[in-house]
Structure 1
Amino acid sequence: MNHPARAMPSQRLSGHDGANRPRRTRRTYACDSCSIRKIKCDRATPQCDWCYHHNIPCTFTRNRDSSRSCLRQTRSDTSSSNSPSPPAIPFPQGGPQAVTPQGFGTDICLAGQTLGNICAFNGLPFFSPSGLEWIRARTGEDRSLDRYCSLRPITWPRLAKKRTEGDRRLSLPDKSLLYEQIEAFQKSICGQFLPLINRTCFECTIRAAYEKKLSDISPGLSSARICILAFMALSSFFAAQPHVDKIVTADEYAREAQDLLPEMLNESVTLDGLQALTMLAISGDMLSIELLLSMATRFVFHLKGNVYPEDVEGVTLDAKLHVRNLFWICFTLDKMFSLRTGLQPFIDVTNCDLRLPRMQTVTGPLEGLQPFYRQYNHTMFLALIRLSLVQSKVYHGLYSFSAQRQSDADLLATIRSLDIALEEWRSSVPTSWGLPTPHENRMAGFLFEMQYHYTMAAIHQTSSRCTAWVRNQDTRAAGSSLALSVAASRSLLRKFLETDPQIEGQFLLFCLPELSTSAIHLFSNILMSPQEDRSDTDLSLMRLVLQHIGKYMWRQMPTTFTAQVRLVEEFMGDLYHLAEMAILKARRGQ
């Protein structure tokens, strides 16, 4: 259907030569909005970059298939010039319009990945307007899902007691309790994955915070105090707790540390400040991690953590090596966060020395300049660093601004090369971590398996951008790239069902975005093929995962963690209900 020339400026149709005869026009390749503004259109689906950032429907009503339509358009313009006409409408109005045929992989997008009108941001999924229409058509339900949209900020619950002018600040923990927490944390899985503290450097922090004895390593009182509080918030949650009755809740420690951040920022950039920001980012909620991580990355660059330390002289060697460790932790968090959200990373790899810590063998003696602590096996940390390097390539190769404008051939070549890189990483991961207990070895393997399947899905679902390729293939066939992404999501959810909430409950915090993303994949697959037998199996898997998440509410869970778990649990419950309705609707229609 053709419309009057409101999508094309009138000067394009007027002129002193040939104004009354149809012009031969080429097929247009920009959407209506980009054409009006004479800007380049990337023709992404379901919305181009301009329409996506301005939250408007992306339409292509200007394409014409023959000169007959051009003649009809021109005659309409001529007749309309003799009668009053409505003013030109620069933006398409009305409800969402589907601009491509409905099909798996043509309308869904996830963190910048096209996968059918569903998007994710800040680690939490939300749905585009056209996606909601698609879901209503498939399910017959009008259940509101826009409350999960990231544009509506989530207010996390705060402690009931609010500080008043006369309230005394939270005291530092007793030294004996602090040392118990240090021992417990360094032996925990979290301490093995993320070596956030160095005993030599942390002793300086303790002396500064408790005895006001400043040093080159800990030159600020506020920074040292916040570092202790941030460590207690993290270790109270992730480490073993030998004396629970002596531990104030992790919420109170984190709240106190965050309240003191302005005082810390008034001091110079310090190692203690970097440690505090990094630990608060890890133990924080999905909304605060971005701000805390951005500050931590600036601190680590000021402290030269992006450069491999070559100077082996001086008393600050331990501090330099520890800053390098913290650089890699920030690097890992940054790449995970950008891949989850589609937001650009804070750390530019072109400004970083990416040489890995040197080890003679995986479990052998340390060699040369080695920023590890000699009493622990840090093969997990090395494996995590290598994974973050792969995830960095995934983001830059598939989700960056330039990557989303590459040709279909280049995109598929990138997918293949990243798939190879991920498999090479997986083959380098040891089968046993040498941890003291079986459940710790199992948990370490679980965390890496979760990240492997999540990264696999993130790589292969981008193949749906190749519209011509998707239309000419059965995307659900075994071996197709989109089928691999759905299969990876199934594997991730099944792996989650193997965890023990009583022993490994706190590690759910690391898995929430991956679980919600995988649930979206299965949900989308069910809606596309509700009558297939596999849809019933996927629906049962979603139900089991939803029930398993409910078992993770352990006794001393921080309120921010509880809020995040409840939100994801509610979201996955809505997905399950809608998927069930889609199957029932399809069977009734049959």
Structure 2
Amino acid sequence: MQKHAHAKIPDEYVSVFHSGRRSEMNGSTSVDGYASHHLPQDQVVESHELSNYDGGLNAQDNNSAFFRYYGIPVFSPMGQKWIQSHRGTSDILKTLLSFGLPWASYPSHSTSEQEAGGKSGGTPVELPDRFVTEACIAFYKCGKVGLIYPIADMSLLEDSVKTAYSPSSDESPQALSIAKAFVLSFVTFCSAADRREHMSYPVDGERCALEAESMLSTVHDPAHSLGKLQVLLLLLLFHFSQGRLELARELMISIARSANDLSPAMRLSEPPSSPEGTVTPCCTSYKESTFRTLYWNSFMLDKELAFRTGTPVLMLAESLIPASLNATESPNEYLSKLLPTHDPQNHRSETSISHLKLSLIMSRVYSELYEPQSLKKPDTETLRTIRALDDELEEWRLSIPRACRPTLHISDLPTQSTTDVELLLINLRYHHSLGCIHQAVSRCQPCGPMTEALRSSLNLSVRASVSSLEILRATRFTLNRELFWFICFYLLSAILNLLCKVITEPFDFDNPECMRILKDTPVILREMDTHQLTSTERRHLDLMILLSSELSAMVEGSSVRNGI
């Protein structure tokens, strides 16, 4: 398959920026604060810029401070002023902004810790019916549960089930607590992540999650560190699949601390496989192999949360790279060797490893383009970084078998893709990664012959957003809660990136395509099958439909006034 077509940034153009000139808006972009319940708008535009805003926006001024937030376009104070000047005060936008990040859900009840604290210490834990637990295991093994497969070792889960349901166990109290917490967290995860239609679990996922957290709080023996890490990961995925990013972030802090502490003892920085990628059990113990899978799944979710919330990453890939790394080996090549080995008997492992490798690239995208210090790079270094990351992303894409290879062109997808959730997800992650890489070029000051190359790179970010909306239009799925929150993030990111493009460059040739897909977006949302969603998600979806309709009308009206 042909590489995505765009103009490369040649060396002779990069040299134009050796003076280190930067646009004023880029130089003042602040990222000192991090995400809270409401949109962290001060990160995007500082007050002295806002006071000088006169209601217009010159495309030559650069758009990075207008919408950018860690690779995600959101409404900055300047953006809201622009909207008000062209559309008036909008109740829909006010409602959306009051929600906080538009792809997150904020529970109004007390936190799980507070609720769990009200439980009597002597109250026995009530496990789900064993038939339900065994059914969850069977569904999971068939690949019918979860967009991410978090269980590091199925035999450990099955042993935990035997221990937890045994009427008389010889296990220690802490071992019994871990076993029960594992069962509860696994059933909790399955209750929210089952992808089959008309499937309802006869369990209270919220209660099971509280019980699991309560049991986990009683376990302090280091011998159970791996089991504790597995339970935390399942609970994180449960909250993640409900759109509760604040709670997921709290759990991620505990996971990262535990995983980083265990890494040296588990020899994480030592490759577990031979150069050919075949499993070598003599080099990796059972515990080390289990930990490796847990670590890298946690690593991937850490990056997903960072780009959704704007909070800093907690698990740094750079910490695993030895100072004595061979000059002939790139850091990414070395890190790829540290990933879990491919299991030929597990058809899901190849897909999982592809996602993990993409997370390695996104870790670099964060640290080299969106981490606070990276915003101080001179333009020449930013351009080189963009080019290097683009090459890495394309190398990753071409390494994936053609049948499931992500693409910018929907016509290139295999015919069965309209019902393939895994293929949908890997395409959305690829589009978002490509968009984040190339949107960073907006921080560079256009200069002479370099302007067209910069425009080409920015247009590729736009193309990625269009592709995300097109693939959603081409697919038909029943939305469960987990899939809804994944799609919500990628969909809104794409919409806002296109809006950014249309507003800041109203005479650009790509505008008709951008406006067409913006007009189609409310239709795409209305046609989604939502019978598995809760009333909370349906209200959130209704707001997304109203928002996309209003933005479409706003942009169309602006274009008419500008004579497009």
Question: With structure 2 as the length reference, what TM-score do the two structures score?
Answer: 0.73
Look up the match of 2:435: 457
- Residue by residue, what CA displacement relative to the aligned partner does 1:171-199 show, whole Å, maximum 9, x if unpaired? 21222321221121132165685242412
Look up the match of 1:380: 351
Deviation larger for 460-469 or 124-133: 124-133
- Residue by residue, what CA displacement relative to the aligned partner does 1:264-302 show, whole Å, maximum 9, x if unpaired? 569875222211211122221222221111211222233
Three-state SS of the structure 1 residue aligned to 2:388 is helix
Look up the match of 1:143: 90
1:538 has 2:517 as partner = no
Is contact 1:104-1:475 (8 Å) kept? no
Look up the match of 1:14: none
Aligned AA for 2:460?
L
Is contact 2:25-2:62 (8 Å) kept? no
> Offset at 1:447?
1.3
1:510 has 2:486 as partner = yes
Look up the match of 1:293: 252
* RMSD (CA atoms): 4.4
2: CA distance, partners of 1:252 / 1:553: 27
1: CA distance, partners of 2:556 / 2:52: 25
Look up the match of 1:423: 394
1:127 has 2:86 as partner = no
Look up the match of 2:233: 278
Look up the match of 2:524: 548
- The unaligned stretches of length 5 or more in structure 2 are 1-21, 35-40, 273-279, 322-333, 406-414
Is contact 1:126-1:146 (8 Å) kept? no
Look up the match of 2:261: 302
Deviation larger for 347-356 or 403-412: 347-356
- Residue by residue, what CA displacement relative to the aligned partner does 1:448-499 show, whole Å, maximum 9, x if unpaired? 111111111101111111124499736896xx11111111100111111222
Three-state SS of the structure 2 residue aligned to 1:501 is coil
> Offset at 1:500?
1.7
Look up the match of 2:136: 181
> Offset at 1:510?
2.3
1:221 has 2:173 as partner = no
1:398 has 2:369 as partner = yes
Look up the match of 2:501: 525
Is contact 2:72-2:307 (8 Å) kept? no
Is contact 1:398-1:459 (8 Å) kept? yes
- The unaligned stretches of length 5 or more in structure 1 are 1-40, 60-90, 109-113, 360-368
Three-state SS of the structure 2 residue aligned to 1:467 is coil
Question: With structure 1 as the length reference, what TM-score do the two structures score?
Answer: 0.70
Is contact 2:144-2:195 (8 Å) kept? no
> Offset at 1:574?
2.2
**Percent identity of paired positions between Structure 1 and Structure 2:** 21
Three-state SS of the structure 1 residue aligned to 2:314 is coil
> Which structure carries more relative contact order (alpha carbon 8 Å, separation 6+)?
2
Aligned AA for 2:260?
F
2: CA distance, partners of 1:417 / 1:99: 38
- The one of 217, 221, 233 equivalent to 1:262 is 217
Aligned AA for 1:487?
R
Look up the match of 2:275: none
1: CA distance, partners of 2:448 / 2:389: 20
Q: How does 1:551-562 map to 2 (within 5 A)?
A: 551-552=527-528, 554-557=530-533, 562=536
- The one of 319, 322, 328 equivalent to 2:287 is 319
Residues 575, 118 of structure 1: alpha-carbon distance in 2 compared, 3 angstrom cutoff:
farther
Three-state SS of the structure 2 residue aligned to 1:127 is coil
> Offset at 1:514?
1.8
2: CA distance, partners of 1:452 / 1:376: 21
2: CA distance, partners of 1:415 / 1:99: 32
Deviation larger for 239-248 or 387-396: 239-248
Look up the match of 2:540: 567
1:414 has 2:385 as partner = yes
Residues 387, 348 of structure 1: alpha-carbon distance in 2 compared, 3 angstrom cutoff:
same
Three-state SS of the structure 2 residue aligned to 1:500 is coil
Is contact 1:237-1:250 (8 Å) kept? yes
Look up the match of 1:352: 320
2: CA distance, partners of 1:56 / 1:282: 28
Is contact 2:308-2:489 (8 Å) kept? yes
- Residue by residue, what CA displacement relative to the aligned partner does 1:316-347 show, whole Å, maximum 9, x if unpaired? 94333121101110111122322344432111
Residues 506, 140 of structure 1: alpha-carbon distance in 2 compared, 3 angstrom cutoff:
closer
Q: How does 1:465-480 map to 2 (within 5 A)?
A: 465-469=443-447, 473=451, 480=456
Is contact 1:224-1:273 (8 Å) kept? no
Residues 105, 502 of structure 1: alpha-carbon distance in 2 compared, 3 angstrom cutoff:
farther
- Residue by residue, what CA displacement relative to the aligned partner does 1:369-419 show, whole Å, maximum 9, x if unpaired? 947484444110111121111111211221123321111111111111111
Is contact 1:47-1:57 (8 Å) kept? no
Q: How does 1:191-270 map to 2 (within 5 A)?
A: 193-211=148-166, 213=169, 219-239=174-194, 244=199, 247-258=202-213, 260-264=215-219, 270=225
Look up the match of 1:23: none
- Residue by residue, what CA displacement relative to the aligned partner does 1:180-230 show, whole Å, maximum 9, x if unpaired? 2112113216568524241221133223322374769x9533332222122
Look up the match of 2:472: 496
Residues 454, 240 of structure 1: alpha-carbon distance in 2 compared, 3 angstrom cutoff:
closer
Look up the match of 2:58: 103
- Residue by residue, what CA displacement relative to the aligned partner does 1:429-451 show, whole Å, maximum 9, x if unpaired? 112369xx956983222211111
Aligned AA for 1:301?
N
Q: How does 1:427-438 map to 2 (within 5 A)?
A: 427-432=398-403, 438=416
- Residue by residue, what CA displacement relative to the aligned partner does 1:13-36 show, whole Å, maximum 9, x if unpaired? xxxxxxxxxxxxxxxxxxxxxxxx
- The one of 537, 550, 553 equivalent to 1:577 is 550
2: CA distance, partners of 1:230 / 1:221: 14
Three-state SS of the structure 2 residue aligned to 1:450 is helix
Residues 350, 524 of structure 1: alpha-carbon distance in 2 compared, 3 angstrom cutoff:
closer
- The count of residues paired between Structure 1 and Structure 2 equals 492
Three-state SS of the structure 1 residue aligned to 2:402 is coil
2: CA distance, partners of 1:47 / 1:571: 31
Residues 95, 483 of structure 1: alpha-carbon distance in 2 compared, 3 angstrom cutoff:
closer
Aligned AA for 1:196?
I
Tell me which structure has the larger Cα radius of gyration: 1
Three-state SS of the structure 2 residue aligned to 1:296 is helix
1: CA distance, partners of 2:545 / 2:403: 33
> Offset at 1:232?
0.9
2: CA distance, partners of 1:289 / 1:375: 28
Look up the match of 2:408: none
- The one of 481, 504, 510 equivalent to 2:457 is 481
- Residue by residue, what CA displacement relative to the aligned partner does 1:532-554 show, whole Å, maximum 9, x if unpaired? 78545434423433343345564
Is contact 1:539-1:580 (8 Å) kept? no
